[in-house]
Amino acid sequence: MREITAASITEKVRDMCIEANCLLPDDVSDRIRSCHKTEPWAPARDTLGRLIENIDIAKNEKMPLCQDTGLTCVFLELGQDVHITGGDLNKAVHEGVRQGYSEGFLRKSVVEDPLRRKNTGDNTPAVITVDIVPGDALTVTVAPKGFGSENMSRLNMFPPAAGEKGVKDFVVETVRLAGPNPCPPIVIGVGIGGTFDRVALLAKKALMRPVNRRHPDKYYSDMEIELLERVNALGIGPQGFGGKTTALGLNIETHPTHIAGLPVAVNINCHVTRHMKATL
């Protein structure tokens, strides 16, 4: 049994909240730079150039990539041979978020009640997802999620007869309906299968996979490529100014489901697809 202190978790989450808001993952940054070189539409190419400038300023000046520093989603892969000492795991994560958003001067965007709307003042609570895995390590992924893109996400409980075509058309329609609202170029996470609640989590987790890493199953890998091409053919383009760069990547995650169902969720992220992973 390996012991990990709650204090070390708080410290790590604090640092990751600050860094994740200022540093775009290399796979996303590289894709934006690549699209900038190949984008034929001048307004779109100019917009991508401004996004690259923003990425560089945020990195060099240690400033947030976006004024919406998000609701903090934290994914924990907790080894079954780990024992957390000196405090509660969830409280340790929340405290890390509180410290990170306060010390990093990051915008506090969380309200304590969805209808009465009073701001909590420290961006807590985080949305925490825990998976128990083999081993004696704790892997932490911090993903600040802005809501301009989150609000454009959709979920549908299809009948199985909708099939592959129904799934594909739903994904493309979701992006078309979103238009410029989620600050394209976007990254698209697609969940297929499971239950009503699980499929949304699949879509969210799909956003954590690098945009340059395809699904291991060729059937879904080919679907990712096809859907990305269809989405970019919509012509929405960077910030809605047209062009061929509507999406930087599209990832699919699946889970077995019931014989009577075909759940599908599409979670959209803006070009600031922030996430950072560390292992304690």
| 132 and 170 housed in the same domain | no
When pLDDT is averaged across residues 7-14 and rounded to a whole number, the result is 98
Does 74 map to a domain?
Answer: yes
Q: Are residues 129 and 172 both part of a single domain?
A: no
Point out the domain boundary residue: 121, 145, 169: 145
Strand partners, 268: 188
Any domain includes 90: yes
**In 62-181, which residue ranges form alpha helices assigned H by DSSP?**
89-103, 147-150, 163-178
pTM assigned to the model = 0.96
| Averaged pLDDT, 211-228 | 98
pLDDT digits (tens, 9 = 90+) for 39-94: 999 999 999 999 999 999 999 999 999 999 999 999 999 999 999 999 999 999 99
- Please report the pLDDT score of residue 38 as a whole number: 96
Task: Collect all residues with Cβ–Cβ distance below 8 Å to 156 and sequence separation of at least 6.
Answer: 170, 263, 264, 265
Tokens of 209: 């996979």
Total domain count, the chain: 2
Domain with 119, as residue range(s), is 2-20+65-145
Q: Do 7 and 130 fall within a single domain?
A: yes
Preceding amide of 180 cis, omega within 30: no
118 and 79, same domain (yes or no) = yes
Rounded to whole angstroms, the Cα distance separating 215 from 206 reads 10
- Indicate whether 141 and 228 sit together in one domain: no
Please indicate, yes or no, whether residues 215 and 266 belong to a single structural domain of this protein: yes
- Where among 145, 175, 198 does a domain terminate? 145
Q: Give domain status of residue 259, yes or no.
A: yes
36 found inside a domain: no
- Confirm whether 59 is domain-assigned: no
The pLDDT, as a whole number, for residue 160 is 98
265 and 130, same domain (yes or no): no
Task: Report pLDDT for 208.
Answer: 97
Residue 233 CB neighbour total at 10 angstroms: 11
> pLDDT of 135-183, one tens digit each?
999 999 999 999 999 999 999 999 999 999 999 999 999 999 999 999 9
How does pLDDT run across 225-260, given as a tens digit for each residue? 999 999 999 999 999 999 999 999 999 999 999 999
Q: What percent of the chain has pLDDT over 90?
A: 100
Within a domain: residue 26?
A: no
Do residue 16 and residue 133 come from a single domain? yes
Question: Does residue 47 fall inside a structural domain?
Answer: no
- Whether residue 44 lies inside any domain: the answer is no
* 197 lies in the same domain as 131: no
Same domain, 6 and 136: yes
